[in-house]
């Protein structure tokens, strides 16, 4: 029984030592070279709180260590990740992020109930007496306009956030508008 206990203890020690070696952070404060590619290009890239410039970043000299990499495009944070930066020109310092602009939805209700709906100036669909959900809009601000059968129109500005649906009510009888965020 003692031999089995000793063997299990030894195996646990070896396993935790091996895992600890894999998770050791890189040395800090040494010169390192990074390459950062993003999609879409021309995104703002920050490493350790310092701006590196617009992507793609090629052969940029930085300081090694564990740092936070942030990619921002059109005001939206696409990447926020802790990364290891290794000294020298190490292949582990090449980062290729297939970032994407988050998508969201807008649920539109109109008064009168039958209106043509335009999103950012382009005809999207008709309400035809029921609410209309316009899906997969890029995150950001969008102008929603309703042109209705009574020859009046209303419009509002909505802010779309990733994976959220925004409710928009457009009243073309008075020209008033309102909106509220939903899940």
Structural contact between residues 48 and 63, judged by C-beta atoms closer than 8 angstroms: yes
Fold that domain 25-97 belongs to in CATH? Immunoglobulin-like (2.60.40)
Using the 8-state DSSP alphabet, how is residue 92 labeled? G
Q: How far is the C-alpha of 49 from the C-alpha of 93, rounded, in Å?
A: 17
Beta strands in the chain (DSSP E): 31-38, 44-47, 50-54, 57-63, 65-73, 76-85, 94-97, 103-111, 115-119, 122-126, 132-138, 140-148, 153-160, 165-171, 177-182
Report the pLDDT value the prediction gives residue 39, as an integer from 0 to 100: 79
Work out the average pLDDT over 12-38: 72
Report the pLDDT value the prediction gives residue 99, as an integer from 0 to 100: 56
Question: If you average pLDDT over every residue of the chain, what do you get?
Answer: 84
Q: How far is CA 119 from the centre of its chain?
A: 22
Every domain of the chain with CATH number 2.60.40.10 lies at: 103-182
Tell whether the model's pLDDT for residue 79 goes beyond 90: no
Tell whether the model's pLDDT for residue 41 goes beyond 50: yes
Cis peptide before 112 (omega within 30 of 0): yes
Report the pLDDT value the prediction gives residue 117, as an integer from 0 to 100: 96
Tell whether the model's pLDDT for residue 157 goes beyond 50: yes
Give the pLDDT band of residue 28 (cuts 50, 70, 90): very high
The pLDDT tens digits of the residues spanning 84-139 come to: 999 999 999 999 886 567 789 999 999 999 999 999 999 999 998 889 999 989 88
- Specify the pTM: 0.48
Domain 103-182 part of CATH 2.60.40.10: yes
Tell whether the model's pLDDT for residue 20 goes beyond 70: no
Q: How far is the C-alpha of 48 from the C-alpha of 23, rounded, in Å?
A: 20
């Amino acid at each position: 029984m003692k031999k089995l206990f000793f063997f299990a203890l030894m195996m646990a020690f070896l396993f935790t030592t091996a895992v600890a070696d894999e998770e050791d952070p890189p040395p800090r404060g040494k010169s390192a070279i990074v390459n950062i590619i993003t999609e879409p290009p021309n995104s703002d890239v920050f490493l350790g709180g310092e701006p590196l410039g617009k992507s793609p970043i090629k052969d940029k000299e930085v300081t090694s260590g564990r740092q936070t990499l942030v990619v921002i495009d059109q005001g939206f944070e696409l990447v926020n990740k802790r990364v290891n930066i290794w000294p020298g020109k190490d292949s582990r310092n090449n980062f290729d992020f297939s970032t994407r602009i988050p998508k969201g939805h807008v649920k539109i209700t109109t008064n009168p109930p039958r209106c043509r709906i335009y999103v950012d100036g382009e005809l999207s669909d008709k309400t035809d007496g029921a609410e209309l959900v316009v899906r997969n809009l890029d995150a950001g601000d969008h102008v929603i306009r309703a042109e209705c059968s009574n020859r009046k129109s209303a419009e509002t500005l909505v802010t779309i956030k990733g994976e959220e649906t925004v409710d928009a009510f457009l009243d073309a009888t008075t020209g008033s508008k309102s909106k509220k965020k939903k899940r």
